[in-house]
Structure 1
């Protein structure tokens, strides 16, 4: 008995419904570039269809490697820096490079999805890492301010301890914010207001403003003091002004970047709470990741690399004796210089083993021996002038000429006119 057409239609409809239900429960296929074992949270790191995640990850890795290599170079070349003024800046610079590596690493926490542990890491490390970097800039500004006025800078250990102490204040602020909102009030770690997030980082922004003001003072007026010494003070100011210029550029670029990301972040909060939009836009956390990577490269390009170059470059070598002679020579009187030059020429003439004209000198000696003296009509021979020839002649004539008085020719008679 053949089935009726109505039964076949019903069976086909049932099979299509079951197939659609099973397909709806299947997970979506992974994007191109990611394997099936990659969690959806981390697919932005390998998704080739949205290239910005891969590009940002590459830039962050490149910045971290650059900071590590620069720190190794500074550590290896530290023993070749004899000047304490340059050695004291290596400690805060290495600490700044460590904070920069932390910024690049924290950017990965904003690239992946939202989780309880990741939100704790974001809220707990954002402010302290920025405070560590900005406190290193403040320590460098304090060092350059003292060096520009001719004073002695604190050593590298003191500046590093100052930077760590200033950054610990921001760590306490972030820890208290987490404890109050998560443990005491029972909110989720990812449930926080953007305004609270920005207010918690106000201390780090204050450190940046102070560092910018101090570095600008060194650039414009050399530290704000006379320093004494006149020209020497001006020379000292010029020596450290280049470091202060790069430090101010780094602070200025950081301020502009902070103004940009704070504006975008707070505007994003206004868009999310408006009645026309529900939920937060998708570019919220990627914008924070871009801000972290950009700030890391700003610190590298505008402060760390120029400061390392100025610290490790070789100064022109000049001995103290030569510089002292160069500056002391004009202070001597002209008569002393003439006497000294005359004595040097006389010693050189006495040490000279050869004569100007060897053949003429031998004839002169023979004529002097035959004549006995030069009769020039003057009261007597000219004293104090050395004989013209000092040829080494191991003969009786040389012994006779060197043992007796040396006759001289009159100034108006030269050459063979005597004979």
Structure 2
């Protein structure tokens, strides 16, 4: 029995050792399987990342190839026609559009102020030119809007808009200036101005002439001769604006006459018109010189023509706002003083005639009776040739109003019809 027990013990130990070895083999095989699985996972992730990076690089490269003309500061999906609006390499477009946008906002604000204050303007001389103010602001707003047409890249449509609207918008502004100079000249010399319909009608009729010129120019050059809208010489563009120059010179000349007249309160309006026309002449001389001769001499005609015209529009718009629109609207909404109210305490004013006053104002009955009584006393004093006072003896006669307190007609009116009493220091009655 002891031998059997030992055999069983050795068999159990051998089986336990074999089981442990088998477990070790299984553990080693599982470890290597796990390592191979992790290696495959890492390789798969690396391939995925490489594919994503390659796809991203491909998209960037394709976008750059498709938008090779898009400069720094612009988006990838921006059309090449509008590159100048955001191109940081050519900064002039961004500056000009910012200044033009600010001018457009100021113009809209002035129009809104004029609309809000419209019901409170009662003076006829200030209410008549309101339509002309709106026309002028509308033309100024159009100049700021046309600036963007000279910033973006030109095509047939853009060139037609440039050629057509340039002359018309300036003709509208200069016609309004000319009508304003006509109005202020009449105010300075005669104290009254033409009606609002006459002012607006004159400005629109003068503008209509430039509309006909612009339409005829486009029809003859684009439709009849089948020329591209962008194929025009700078001299042709300038010659089509001769009528605008005539309007500007006319406004400047008529504004000079607004400084001569007897109604001086309107001369400041004439001075504003004169300054606006003068600075406009300077701007037009500058841009025509650069556009016709300067850019060609500097060999920068293709690069500087559009910036020259865009800057001209912006500068003209701001001159119109600062020197004309803001002063005119300020004078329009400012309440006028009551000029017909007399100042009873101003001794420099001439006295009112009593005869005219007596005809207009019905005096109280008590005052008329008092005046008749005083006249009787005055006649009696003249007949006695003086009066006697116990302490002073004989005293020569004195004028009527120096001895008897006589309230004037103005004093009666100011006291509501009651007869004012004599002041305590008045001693005229003690002499009788």
TM-score normalized by the length of structure 2? 0.67
Whether contact under 8 Å (2:150, 2:307) holds in the other structure is yes
Cα deviation 1:266-304 (Å, max 9, x = unaligned)? 0157449xxxx6x83301111100000000000000111
The whole-number CA distance in structure 1 between the counterparts of 2:78 and 2:64 is 20
2:337 to 312, 316, 333: 316
Aligned to 1:89: 129
Aligned runs of 1:230-379 on 2, under 5 Å?
234=262, 236=263, 238-268=264-294, 270-271=296-297, 280-317=301-338, 320-322=341-343, 327-329=349-351, 339-340=406-407, 348-349=420-421
The whole-number CA distance in structure 2 between the counterparts of 1:75 and 1:23 is 49
The whole-number CA distance in structure 2 between the counterparts of 1:25 and 1:320 is 79
Instruction: Give the 3 Å change call, closer, same or farther, for CA 340–167 of structure 1 in structure 2.
Output: same
The size of the alignment, in residue pairs, is: 319
Once the 2 structures are TM-superposed, how far is the Cα of residue 152 of structure 1 from its aligned partner?
3.0
Whether contact under 8 Å (2:92, 2:307) holds in the other structure is no
Instruction: Give the 3 Å change call, closer, same or farther, for CA 383–139 of structure 1 in structure 2.
Output: closer
Whether contact under 8 Å (2:131, 2:200) holds in the other structure is yes
Q: Secondary structure at the match of 2:302?
A: coil
The whole-number CA distance in structure 1 between the counterparts of 2:309 and 2:400 is 76
The whole-number CA distance in structure 2 between the counterparts of 1:318 and 1:281 is 60
Q: Secondary structure at the match of 1:34?
A: coil
Aligned runs of 1:19-418 on 2, under 5 Å?
27-28=67-68, 30-150=70-190, 152-219=192-259, 221-222=260-261, 234=262, 236=263, 238-268=264-294, 270-271=296-297, 280-317=301-338, 320-322=341-343, 327-329=349-351, 339-340=406-407, 348-349=420-421
CA RMSD of aligned residues (A): 3.4
- Runs of 5+ consecutive residues of structure 1 not aligned to the other structure: 1-21, 223-233, 357-381, 386-409, 412-419
Instruction: Give the 3 Å change call, closer, same or farther, for CA 23–53 of structure 1 in structure 2.
Output: closer
The whole-number CA distance in structure 1 between the counterparts of 2:186 and 2:342 is 29
TM-score normalized by the length of structure 1? 0.69
Q: Secondary structure at the match of 2:407?
A: helix
Once the 2 structures are TM-superposed, how far is the Cα of residue 48 of structure 1 from its aligned partner?
2.7
Cα deviation 1:239-292 (Å, max 9, x = unaligned)? 1110000100000000000000000000157449xxxx6x83301111100000
Q: Which has the higher mean CA deviation after the structures are superposed, 31-40 or 250-259?
A: 31-40
Q: Which has the higher mean CA deviation after the structures are superposed, 337-346 or 299-308?
A: 337-346
Whether contact under 8 Å (2:407, 2:419) holds in the other structure is no
Instruction: Give the 3 Å change call, closer, same or farther, for CA 317–29 of structure 1 in structure 2.
Output: same
Whether contact under 8 Å (2:210, 2:243) holds in the other structure is yes
- Higher Cα Rg: structure 1 or 2? 2
Whether contact under 8 Å (1:211, 1:251) holds in the other structure is yes
Q: Secondary structure at the match of 1:49?
A: coil
